[in-house]
Amino acid sequence: MKAVLGLEDGTFVRGEGMGVEGVVQGELVFTTQYTGYEEALTDPSYKGQILLFTYPLIGNYGISGETFQSDGMKAEGLVVREACDHPSHHRSRRSIYEFLRDEGKSGIMGVDTRMLTIKTREHGTMKAAIVVGDDNGEEAVRLAREQPDIGNLDLISMVTCKEPYRVNGREDGGNVVLMDFGVKRNIIKSLNNRGINVTVVPATTRAKDIIKYEPNAILLSNGPGDPQQAATGISVVKELAGELPIFGICLGHQIISLALGGETYKMKFGHRGANQPVKDRKRGIVYITSQNHGYAADENSIDEKEASVTQINTNDGTVEGLEHKYLDIMSVQYHPEAHPGPLDTEKIFFDRVAEKIKTIKVRVK
């Protein structure tokens, strides 16, 4: 099929279409991972974005369905140099072509992904459009330009759960209320693996309703878009800080930063990949982490008398970890549950959550 990718700066490239015919609009972002495309494409944090893989061959081990991070593909579209139509893996159930078709999504292959990555790094993230079934470059550019800025969209409401649900760990494992701003399934799994019972609630759940679940702690999940859109999450942190331990991952980290009086900003092209180096300031150790975010907390806006920046990105110095000095509040910008990515920090983060819950339960008794 004919296909074209257009960018808001006037650039367009023609290639071969994948998935279904139609138009896809979103921010073009790139990720540097070369495995884990199944997890990335189903990560709700990519809602509103067209995902470009810098690795030239995607799809070689197929799609198993076993590592989905949500109920389906959340990225708006896919851009690759080459897609494999004959995958080889014992768990593969379909090719990436079939996956896109089944999900009703569109993609483009056979384009210069290196050029597109360099352009994004130089000029910053841009609005884009993929047209599958036509190759009119000027029309693709027009479609890219006419869409609203992603920061003005309420993407969280598109990916959060509609009703609360519970995923059980152990009867004596304690209870966490997880605010779902676009949660990845492996966050829940990492909690369950430690026996923790998880009640997942919509992003609009207020503090008074969260308390009704009698949680031992609250965890704010990852998710897409501007953290300023998570008004209820910010209010929950402000109201329950000091009442319960509060943890945050990715977007949840940014929400906590805002609730504590800090500021956030949109990054030039964000961090997306499975090899982001993060230095722990206390331990002097560098961890390799998995990340997917386009916004960051502003270190200069954080009140040093109240909170400490515990971890930083060694590439650009952005805030990767935050802890309150007096209250039980801790958050990280990266994904400790990984999937895809290294598990350097999985044990450190989730063991700390489990230990805090255990301490709270003992204190209550």
Q: DSSP string covering 127-189, please?
A: EEEEEES---HHHHHHHHHHSPPGGGS--HHHHS-SS-EEE---TTS-EEEEEESS--HHHHH
The last residue of a domain, from among 106, 122, 147: 147
The pLDDT score that the predictor gives to residue 354 is 95
Clarify whether residues 125 and 7 are in a common domain: yes
Provide the angle, in degrees to the nearest 10, between the axes of the packed helices 346-364 and 185-192: 50
By 3-state DSSP, what share of the chain in percent is helix, strand and coil, each rounded to 5?
30, 35, 40
- Supply the residues annotated as catalytic: 250, 335, 337
CA distance 32 to 341: 11
Please indicate, yes or no, whether residues 178 and 318 belong to a single structural domain of this protein: yes
How far apart (Å, rounded) are the C-alpha atoms in residues 244 and 216? 7
Number of separate domains in the chain: 2
Q: Please give the mean pLDDT across all residues of the chain.
A: 96
- The answer on 287 and 168 residing in a single domain is yes
Mark whether 126 and 264 lie in a shared domain. Answer: no
Of 215, 213, 207, the C-alpha closest to 238 is 207
Estimate to the nearest angstrom the gap between the alpha carbon of 146 and the chain centroid.
Answer: 25
* Structural domain span for residue 354: 156-364
Dihedral sign for Cα 113, 115, 121, 126, please: negative
Q: Quick one: pLDDT at residue 308?
A: 97
Kindly state whether residues 73 and 123 are assigned to the same domain.
yes
Burial class (CB in 10 A: 0-12, 13-18, 19+), 192: middle
Check residue 341 and give its pLDDT.
Answer: 85
Q: What is the pLDDT of residue 340?
A: 81
Phi, psi at 354, each rounded to 5°: -65, -40
- What is the per-residue pLDDT for 7? 98
Report the C-alpha dihedral over residues 194, 358, 328, 322, rounded to 10 degrees.
-30
Same domain, 94 and 200: no
Helix H or strand E segment including 29: strand 22-31
Residues 273 and 292 in one domain: yes
Residues 253 and 336 in one domain: yes
pLDDT of residue 362: 53
Is the preceding omega at residue 340 within 30 degrees of 0, hence cis? yes
Q: Is 320 helix (H, G, I), strand (E, B) or coil?
A: strand
CATH, residue 344:
3.40.50.880
Cα–Cα distance for residue pair 322/168, rounded to 1 Å: 28
Euclidean distance between CA atoms 323 and 306, whole angstroms: 9
What's the CA gap between 7 and 30, in Å, rounded? 14
Are 228 and 93 found together in one domain? Answer: no
Tell me the per-residue pLDDT of 315-337, one tens digit each, with 9 for 90 and over: 999 999 999 999 999 999 999 99
Q: Which CATH number fits the domain that encloses residue 47?
A: 3.50.30.20
* 331 shares its domain with 198: yes
Using the 3D structure, point to which of 147, 174, 209 is the last residue of a domain: 147
Which regions in the chain score pLDDT beneath 50? 364-365
Let me know whether 143 and 166 are in one domain: no
Residue where one domain finishes, among candidates 147, 164, 190: 147
Q: Which residues of 135-163 are buried (b: 16+ CB within 10 A; e: fewer)?
A: bebebbbebbbebeebeebebbeebbeee
Q: Are 6 and 129 in contact (CB under 8 A)?
A: yes
Q: In this structure, are 92 and 220 located in the same domain?
A: no
- Give how far the C-alpha of residue 248 lies from the chain's centroid of Cα atoms, to the nearest Å: 12
The reported pTM is: 0.96
